[in-house]
């Protein structure tokens, strides 16, 4: 990588996509965004989502284009656009058919979680009481994802399942959006042992700005977040850390209900929320949207990171990870 070029990458957003948000991401200088296009959709439903994105690309071609590999991050930088990379927060589109993995790669999926909170056919989610690890089907899926070039994402998976995935995968895996458990004890946050195993295998952690993952929630301070980042770098090494904001801008509360409940329950599941606060939480005032990357840059410098380290965390580390995907 040319050392004079610094990339800005947000490796997880799930917004109510519009031209307004694409403009915000450009104002933030984002060269690439990994976007969630699936939670509970099956393969046929996925096709409808892809068509909706085709429409976004056509109507906003001055701002965004479909990303397929790291060269598209370079292209985005050169053309002042944002490369959009597709990812799934669940394995539902492959159903129980391993042959669909190659098909979703051909349809430009580049990240796929093995679970979304619950037990799946592949592994155990972080909301299950028992973690039985990666299943037989999951082992075969990981091998096939390695073969075609889809990153294993374990953001919503339980600990043993994640450790299994790290061991089974022949390529580095990612936790695209989560924070350390030492900082805030959310079910979605990760233990020191897991973070060490992730970094020892050259995997990546995308630090999350979603309030349910933050110490203090909406009232989390920039200083606290950046101090956490510094402590995490002591555990993992700074080159294994990036940003995966988990921004859900302009989404109605009906969407978070869909995320948590899908079609698997008739009861109300509040996930990381509660009956009293069932909707999307408000963002901290220093990170209302992707333009908060500038505040992160300032905050990270204040806690002692040098310029190269800051640029790594805010994008270059993800860029280097993308170079190893295919």
Q: What is the pLDDT of residue 106?
A: 98
For the chain, residues with pLDDT lower than 50 are 1-2
Q: Please check whether residue 33 lies inside any domain of the structure.
A: yes
pLDDT tens string 232-270: 999 999 999 999 999 999 887 777 676 667 776 777 666
Pairing mode, if any, of strands 64-66 and 9-13? unpaired
Q: Note down the domain range covering 20.
A: 9-322
**Integer Cα distance of 155 and 92 in angstroms:** 16
**What's the pLDDT at 266?**
75
The whole-number pLDDT of residue 1 equals 45
Inside any domain, residue 1: no
Half-sphere exposure of 88 (CA within 13 A, CB side): 31
In-domain check, residue 4: no
Assign residue 251 the CATH number of its domain: 3.20.20.140
- State the DSSP code for 248: -
Structural domains of the chain, count? 1
Contact between 142 and 169 (Cβ < 8 Å): yes
pLDDT (0 to 100) of residue 271: 64
Sequence-distant (≥ 6) Cβ neighbours of residue 112 within 8 angstroms: 87, 88, 91, 94, 104, 145, 150, 151, 152, 153
Q: Is residue 174 in a domain? A: yes
Question: Cβ(134)–Cβ(161) under 8 Å?
Answer: yes
């Amino acid at each position: 990588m040319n050392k004079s070029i610094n990339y800005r990458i947000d490796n997880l957003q799930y917004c109510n996509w519009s031209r307004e948000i694409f403009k915000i991401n450009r104002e933030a200088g984002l060269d690439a965004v990994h976007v969630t296009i699936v939670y509970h959709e099956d393969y046929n439903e996925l096709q409808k989502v892809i068509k909706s994105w085709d429409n976004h690309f056509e109507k906003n071609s001055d701002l965004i284009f479909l990303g397929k590999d790291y060269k598209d991050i370079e292209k985005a930088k050169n053309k002042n656009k944002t490369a959009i990379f597709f990812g799934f927060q669940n394995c539902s589109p492959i159903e129980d058919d391993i042959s669909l993995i190659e098909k979703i790669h051909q349809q430009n999926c580049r990240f796929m979680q093995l679970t979304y909170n619950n037990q799946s056919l592949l592994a155990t989610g972080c909301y299950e009481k028992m973690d039985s690890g990666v299943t037989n089907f999951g082992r075969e899926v990981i091998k096939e994802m390695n073969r075609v070039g889809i990153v294993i994402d374990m953001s919503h998976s339980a600990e043993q399942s994640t450790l299994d995935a790290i061991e089974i995968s022949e390529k580095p895996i990612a936790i695209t959006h989560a924070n350390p458990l030492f900082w805030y004890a959310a079910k979605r946050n990760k233990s020191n042992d897991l973070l060490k195993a992730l970094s020892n295998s050259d995997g990546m952690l995308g630090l999350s700005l979603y309030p349910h993952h933050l110490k203090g929630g909406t009232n989390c301070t920039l200083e606290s977040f950046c101090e956490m980042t510094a402590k995490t770098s002591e555990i993992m090494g700074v080159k294994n850390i990036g940003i995966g904001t988990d921004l859900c801008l302009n989404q109605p509360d009906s969407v978070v209900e869909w995320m948590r409940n899908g079609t698997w329950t008739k009861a109300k599941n509040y996930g990381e929320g509660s009956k009293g606060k069932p909707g999307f939480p408000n963002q901290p005032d220093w990170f209302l949207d992707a333009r908060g990357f500038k505040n992160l840059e300032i905050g990270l410098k204040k806690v002692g990171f040098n310029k190269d380290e800051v640029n790594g965390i805010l994008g270059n580390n993800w860029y280097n990870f993308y170079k190893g995907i295919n």
